[in-house]
Amino acid sequence: MRLTCSKRSVLALGTGVLLSMSAALAAQMTAPGAGVDSALTNPALQDSDIQEARRKLERGRAQLRAGAFDEAQVLFARAAEIAPANSSVASEAVEHSEFRLPVARAQRWLLMGHATRAQLVLNEALELNQAHPERVRQLEQMLANLSALDNSDAQPLGIDNDMVVKLVRGNLEGFRQRTGRYPITVEELNQLMPAGRPPLDAFEVFRFRGDGRGYLLVLRNRNDAAHVITLHNTGLLQ
């Protein structure tokens, strides 16, 4: 199914798909786990495990907010593996992995103009959350709003430069948080953001310079060489 959006439809999304996605994330991203971990009241469970799982969960949440979804997925999976199965940390980790993260991925796809990919991600999340009626309700509402766009008579949603910049900067900052520096080589940059995959599915690296303390990155649209985006954090570059 090909989904298209006009400018009017994009405004409608503000109260439809994007609003429902943002609300689903905002309502839960800051919500701590309810109740007391059984691991903390059961002497047989190691406190160090639950604390380590909590640290990984919080790191995953930070990566999710930064848009580093692959890194977030790994951290959520590790937190769920470490934490006792009946603990609130384990429940939160699974919820992040199976609900919050897919919603964020779908939101990114939609903002970048890939409504069909957003729909696919939401459908996969729907399958994973059948045991959670409220999540199912929210996901079905998002999918219904997406399906409504199928009747639009306008042009496909264009590339959102601001979103591309936000996502690229988020990936670079995530790299710095993990390694203590920014990428230095083009090879490191390509490993961090592979060509042809979001956020570089519509752009290619035209120029890159980094020394670990800063960077200069120029992206060029794959279909329009005159369309470039320049990002820099070069205060320490000479």
Does position 115 have pLDDT exceeding 50, yes or no? yes
- 78-114 pLDDT, tens per residue? 999 999 888 899 999 999 999 999 999 988 888 777 7
The single-letter code of the amino acid at 188 is E
Alpha-carbon gap, residue 140 to 147, rounded angstroms: 10
pLDDT tens, residue by residue, 133-188? 999 999 988 888 877 665 443 344 456 778 888 888 888 988 888 899 999 999 99
Judge whether 130 and 175 are in contact, CB under 8 Å. no
Q: What are phi and psi of 178, to 5 degrees?
A: -80, -35
pLDDT band of 235, cuts 50, 70, 90: low
Residue 69 has pLDDT above 80, yes or no: yes
Q: What pLDDT shows up at residue 164?
A: 85
> Rounded mean pLDDT of 37-53?
64
Mean pLDDT of 193-209: 86
pLDDT (0 to 100) of residue 144: 84
The set of residues, in sequence order, having a beta carbon less than 8 Å from that of 83 and lying 6+ positions away, is 39, 49, 50, 53, 54, 89, 90, 93
Residue-averaged pLDDT of the chain: 77
Peptide bond into 199 cis (omega under 30): yes
216 within 8 A of 232, measured Cβ to Cβ? yes
pLDDT score for 38: 43
Task: Say which amino acid occupies 202.
Answer: A
Q: Which pLDDT band, with edges at 50, 70 and 90, does 221 fall under?
A: confident
Backbone angles phi, psi at 90, to 5 degrees: -60, -45
Task: Give the up-direction half-sphere exposure of residue 49: CA atoms within 13 A in the CB hemisphere.
Answer: 18
Output Rg (C-alpha) for the chain, integer angstroms.
20
